[in-house]
């Protein structure tokens, strides 16, 4: 029987965990072992969506919301007066297995406030994950948070049981971290990130030699940055993300629009609402960095260090570099197609494949799934028709056309034709 | 007008393709024998299914396209769209007529249409993996049911077999009135004479439920509401990602009675 106590704890510790954004459960496929339950699907499955539109894939929960630290941006900081509680390992594994067997979740995402000290907290968390794997023979997905400053030995152990490890950076620059989380420092965050990267690479290397070598955090490492709690601009943020991807091999950087949970703290800005649009643009830019071959300087410069909120970063790039367009759909290579606004990876691949069979025109592109509303100004299929490209119309006009549609800008267009 | 009809099975359709090529009769319309309303036109010629002929066509398809491409046609068939049989027929004709693999000929309307229907069916199959909710029974087995818009249960079942390998379970399609039963890796197709659950919610009758089941549903609902961030509420996005037609089957979205 499930006790009433668990109800109360689940409520408190889910509320405490909800500001953690990452929900991805993708990146490993872990086949079901004989006699065990569960498998991790490589593509990750959302099992529900909260009313805020976020995917619910994992049981995202804190082991405890007690904390000895006092980070300004965190709802669980010790100076807040709120109900505190801690799950026992049995309660947590029971919930995870019970939810998993009902297909409510892909697995567990475990974090915790710092109880007593860092290593003690890590030990308790590891115990939960290890119990799931060893006692319950659970093959589902587990994402475990690493407490900043945790010892390397504990990180090594955690990585043996979890599919993914993450250390949250939260604040993108050192001086702002000092301001908002005086008990933490960059060193205590960057060191475990480094340790995890090393172990992941090492384990990959060993597994190349032998299939029996133990896995270490096989779905890689991620982190989270809070957006808008500090004056850090998008360039600082993307620059950090770019380095984490390149130098530290991170799988994902998550961006979380700041939600003022501690309005009383004057070190924090008073925001009317969380900066969701900025968060959205950062995710788009992040995507361009990881899959579209862009680098940070192409998206945000010293002169314009913030992303344009009204247009997606690829379109902004194209408008800033009109001489690179229009791109010939029937000739351009994959990398060039990827730089066309309105063409995604999938449509770029389809264009390249379909060209072997026949010449493509704009009707084909539309059917393939190219967003012509944006793409039309940056491509040519050598069709007969009025001049359309960003070169003919000038970037500012195209910007207006994309933002407001051809109708609203009819006057502008006419003037330009003469 | 030449109309051919088949028995509504995939084998039947493949046999129809076989006969059409053998007899050089190229239909302008293909109907499933169960369909009504074709009497306005000429009487259709019925082609009975023959496993051997179907098998030969299927083999031929697999020679001319990737494994994925072949299964794509099967998925289009599962869409149960009225024009799906004709589309599959056209696709096979185009495939046979071409000297190369047409799978990537995205400028060809039939190829793109097949791809688009396939995408929709895949999305529904994926949603089944997402939104299936098992209820534990008093006998320690698990039961889930819902009504997918396409006939995707057959292609979703392998996922559940892998994931819930040590559970006995039933997944049931309420709309088409059949389902699958799993025990120790063996899967069997079943059909209930009397449904043990509500057609509206898929909820099992109370007398079959495990004593913990209601608690777990409550816990999940409780969790579901706690995890939402009020300042970020977005009803439009929410409905887009979690279509309303699934709500009635999800414990976190069900309205408690009484
Ligand atoms: S250590 Fe973590 S839980 Fe504790 S106050 Fe800081 S952010 Fe919150």
* C-alpha A325 to ligand 1 mean position (Å): 48
Write down the pLDDT at residue A17.
85
Does pLDDT of A362 surpass 70? yes
Alpha helices by DSSP H, listed for A273-409, are 276-291, 296-299, 313-320, 334-338, 345-354, 362-368, 372-375, 390-393, 395-408
Phi, psi of B235 (to 5 degrees): -60, -35
Mean local confidence (pLDDT), A160-178: 94
**Band of pLDDT at residue A138, cut at 50, 70 and 90:** very high
Give the distance from CA B65 to its chain's centroid. 22
The answer to whether A386 contacts chain B (CB < 8 Å) is no
Does pLDDT of A250 surpass 50? yes
Range of A386-395, B112-121, B226-235 with top mean pLDDT: B112-121
Rounded CA-CA distance A194/A284 in Å is 26
Does pLDDT of B66 surpass 70? yes
Task: Among B100-104, B168-172, B253-257, name the one with the lowest average pLDDT.
Answer: B253-257
Nearest CA in chain B to A38: B163
pTM for this prediction: 0.90
B residues 194-213 near A, CB within 8 Å? Answer: 211-212
* C-alpha A10 to ligand 1 mean position (Å): 19
B148 Cβ contact partners less than 8 Å away, ≥ 6 residues apart: B124, B127, B128, B173, B175
* C-alpha A182 to ligand 1 mean position (Å): 11
Cis peptide before A326, with omega less than 30 degrees from 0? yes
Chain-chain contact of A102 with B136 (C-beta, under 8 angstroms): yes
Does pLDDT of B115 surpass 70? yes
Atom of ligand 1 nearest to the CA of A73: 7
Write down the pLDDT at residue A274.
87
pLDDT in tens, B159-202: 999 999 999 999 999 999 999 999 998 999 999 999 998 988 99
What count of CB pairs under 8 Å joins A to B? 155
**Residue minimizing CA distance to atom 1 of ligand 1:** A69
Burial label for A179, CB within 10 Å (0-12, 13-18, 19+), is middle
Nearest to B226 among A11, A46, A368 (CB): A11
**Band of pLDDT at residue B116, cut at 50, 70 and 90:** very high
**Band of pLDDT at residue A385, cut at 50, 70 and 90:** confident
Write down the pLDDT at residue A18.
81
Does pLDDT of A409 surpass 80? no
Sign of the Cα torsion A30, A34, A38, A43 reads positive
DSSP E strand boundaries for A128-184: 141-145, 164-166
**Band of pLDDT at residue B40, cut at 50, 70 and 90:** low
Does pLDDT of A220 surpass 60? yes
Q: Which of B97, B104, B107 should we substitute to test contact with A (largest number of A Cβ atoms within 10 Å)?
A: B107
Does pLDDT of A25 surpass 70? no
Does pLDDT of A410 surpass 80? no
Write down the pLDDT at residue B41.
61
The interface pTM score, or ipTM, of the predicted complex is 0.91
DSSP E strand boundaries for B20-133: 29-32, 45-46
Nearest CA distance, B43 vs chain A (angstrom): 35
Write down the pLDDT at residue B32.
87
Does pLDDT of A69 surpass 70? yes
Question: Which residues in chain B have their CB less than 8 angstroms from residue A102's CB?
Answer: 133-136, 142, 216, 220
The answer to whether B134 contacts chain A (CB < 8 Å) is yes
Average pLDDT score over chain A: 90
Rounded CA-CA distance A214/A225 in Å is 30
Does pLDDT of A417 surpass 50? no
Question: Which residues in chain A have their CB less than 8 angstroms from residue B112's CB?
Answer: 367-368
**Band of pLDDT at residue A392, cut at 50, 70 and 90:** confident
Average pLDDT score over chain B: 91
More confident residue, B8 or A384: B8
Mean local confidence (pLDDT), B73-81: 94
The answer to whether B140 contacts chain A (CB < 8 Å) is no
Residues B8/B82, Cβ–Cβ less than 8 Å: no
The SS3 of residue B246 is helix
Ligand 1, CB within 6 Å, residue ranges: A 67, 69, 71, 74, 76-77, 113-114
């Amino acid at each position: 029987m499930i006790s009433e106590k668990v109800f109360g704890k689940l409520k408190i510790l889910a509320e405490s965990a909800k500001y953690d954004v990452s929900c991805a459960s993708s990146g490993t496929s872990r086949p079901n072992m004989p006699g065990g339950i569960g498998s991790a699907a490589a593509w990750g499955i959302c099992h529900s969506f909260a009313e805020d539109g976020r995917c619910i894939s994992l049981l995202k929960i804190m082991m405890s919301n007690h904390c000895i630290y006092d980070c300004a941006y965190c709802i669980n900081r010790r100076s807040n007066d709120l109900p505190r509680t801690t799950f026992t390992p049995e309660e947590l594994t029971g919930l995870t297995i019970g939810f998993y067997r009902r297909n409510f979740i892909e697995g567990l995402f475990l974090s915790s406030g710092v109880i007593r000290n860092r290593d003690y907290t890590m030990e308790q968390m590891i115990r939960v994950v290890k119990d799931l794997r060893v006692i319950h023979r659970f093959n589902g997905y587990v994402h475990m948070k690493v407490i900043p400053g945790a010892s390397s030995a504990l990180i090594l152990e955690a990585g043996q049981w979890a599919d993914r490890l993450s250390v949250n950076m939260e604040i993108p620059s050192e001086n702002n971290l000092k301001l908002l989380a005086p008990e933490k420092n960059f060193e205590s965050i960057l060191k475990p990130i480094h340790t995890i990267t090393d172990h992941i690479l090492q384990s990959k290397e060993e597994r190349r030699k032998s299939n029996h070598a133990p896995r270490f955090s096989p779905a890689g490492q991620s982190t989270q940055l809070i957006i808008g709690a500090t004056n850090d601009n998008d360039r600082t943020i993307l620059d950090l993300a770019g380095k984490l991807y390149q130098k530290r091999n991170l799988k994902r950087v998550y961006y979380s629009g700041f939600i003022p949970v501690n309005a009383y703290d004057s070190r924090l800005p008073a925001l009317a609402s969380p900066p969701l649009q900025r968060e959205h643009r950062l995710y788009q830019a992040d995507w361009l960095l990881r899959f579209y071959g862009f680098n940070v300087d192409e998206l945000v410069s010293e002169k314009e260090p913030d992303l344009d909120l009204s247009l997606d970063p690829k379109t902004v790039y194209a408008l800033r570099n009109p001489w690179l367009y229009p791109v010939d759909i029937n000739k351009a290579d994959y990398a060039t197609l990827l730089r066309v606004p309105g063409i995604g990876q999938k449509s770029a691949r389809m264009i390249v494949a379909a060209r072997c069979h026949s010449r493509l025109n704009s009707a084909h592109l539309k059917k393939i799934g190219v967003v012509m509303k944006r793409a039309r100004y940056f491509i040519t299929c050598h069709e007969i028709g009025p001049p359309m490209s960003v070169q003919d119309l000038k970037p500012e006009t195209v910007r207006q056309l994309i933002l407001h549609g051809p109708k609203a800008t009819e006057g502008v267009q006419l003037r330009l034709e003469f | 007008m030449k109309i051919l009809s088949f028995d509504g099975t995939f084998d039947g359709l493949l046999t129809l393709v076989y006969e059409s090529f053998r007899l050089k009769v190229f239909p302008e319309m293909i109907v499933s024998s169960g369909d009504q309303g074709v009497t306005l036109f000429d009487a259709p010629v019925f082609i009975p299914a023959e496993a051997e002929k179907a098998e030969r066509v299927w083999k031929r398809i697999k020679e001319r396209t990737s494994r994925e491409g072949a299964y794509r046609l099967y998925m289009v068939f599962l869409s149960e769209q009225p024009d799906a049989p004709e589309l599959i027929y056209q696709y096979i004709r185009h495939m046979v007529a071409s000297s190369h693999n047409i799978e990537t000929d995205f400028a060809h309307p039939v190829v793109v249409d097949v791809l688009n229907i396939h995408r929709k069916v895949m999305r529904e199959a994926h949603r089944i993996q997402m939104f299936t909710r098992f209820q534990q029974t008093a006998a320690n087995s698990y039961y889930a049911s819902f009504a997918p818009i396409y006939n995707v249960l057959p292609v979703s079942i392998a996922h559940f077999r892998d994931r819930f390998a040590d559970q006995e379970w039933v997944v049931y399609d309420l709309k088409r009135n059949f389902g699958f039963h799993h025990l120790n890796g063996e899967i069997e197709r079943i059909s209930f004479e009397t449904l043990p659950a509500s057609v509206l919610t898929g909820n099992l009758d109370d007398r079959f439920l495990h004593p913990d089941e209601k608690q777990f549903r409550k816990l999940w609902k409780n969790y579901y509401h706690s995890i939402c961030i009020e300042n970020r509420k977005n009803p439009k996005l929410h409905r887009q990602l979690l279509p309303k037609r699934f709500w009635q089957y999800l414990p976190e979205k069900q309205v408690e009675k009484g």
